[in-house]
Chain A
Amino acid sequence: GAGVSQSPRYKVAKRGQDVALRCDPISGHVSLFWYQQALGQGPEFLTYFQNEAQLDKSGLPSDRFFAERPEGSVSTLKIQRTQQEDSAVYLCASSLGGVTEAFFGQGTRLTVV
């Protein structure tokens, strides 16, 4: 379909391993967001892109987290040296701009063992 696509859907990583999570937003959507959702919690903001520019990364929990969107379309969230507390669902959302309706992907469930 034409929705937000995330891959992989599930990822199991050994502690200390690097992971890369991919987000394919809806075509033409300018804004792209990454969120982290722990079990039983609401989504927590990580970072925001407007086209290829990362305008807000205030939610990234540590310098182990890095996000990019080099061509203003697909985005990758990279987590280096994963820790158990990184286990969560990582949600990507896109919108036409700013804070108009944001459409979410189904998320990547990361489990760090």
Chain B
Amino acid sequence: RKEVEQDPGPFNVPEGATVAFNCTYSNSASQSFFWYRQDCRKEPKLLMSVYSSGNEDGRFTAQLNRASQYISLLIRDSKLSDSATYLCVVNMDSGYALNFGKGTSLLVTP
């Protein structure tokens, strides 16, 4: 079983829509959580860290539920430029690896 599992994609949504991605992780000792964004044939880039209390960055909101080992990313008022693959990333403080999910593809259409 893969350590980080994400919603299967692709998600096709119209501009202005709200879309949510989910992610589950298997290791309860995991300590750090992130969402990365990867454009086609480009390198992953950090979108936002995920904090226990939940956090917001403009149109993006991340939530963490440690009891359910579940992370979410909400994108409001989707823009064409949000089209990308969103990678859920989990790390245990005792290890160095950033463990990536397979990614969820988002396509925002006019």
Contacts and interface: CB of A to CB of B under 8 A. Distances in A.
A45 interface: yes
Contact of B103 (A42, A44, A59): A42
A107 to B, nearest CB: 6
B32 interface: yes
Interface stretch (B11-19, B51-59, B73-81, B94-102): B94-102
Contacts, number: 52
Q: Which of B44, B87, B95, B96 has the most CB of A within 10 A?
A: B96
B8 to A, nearest CB: 11
Main secondary structure of the interface of B (DSSP, over half): loop
B24 interface: no
A78 B42 CA distance: 22
Interface string B26-42: 00000010000000001
B73 to A, nearest CB: 15
Interface residues of B, number: 20
Interface string B65-99: 00000000000000000000001000101011111
A44 B44 CA distance: 12
A42 B43 contact: no
A2 interface: no
Interface string A27-63: 0000101010000111111001010000110110000
A98 B46 contact: no
Given A45-B100, A55-B96, A106-B42, 20 more contacts: A31-B96, A33-B98, A41-B103, A42-B4, A42-B87, A42-B100, A42-B103, A43-B87, A45-B97, A50-B96, A56-B95, A56-B96, A58-B97, A91-B43, A99-B91, A99-B98, A102-B46, A104-B43, A104-B45, A106-B43
Interface of B: 4, 32, 42-46, 49, 87, 91, 93, 95-103
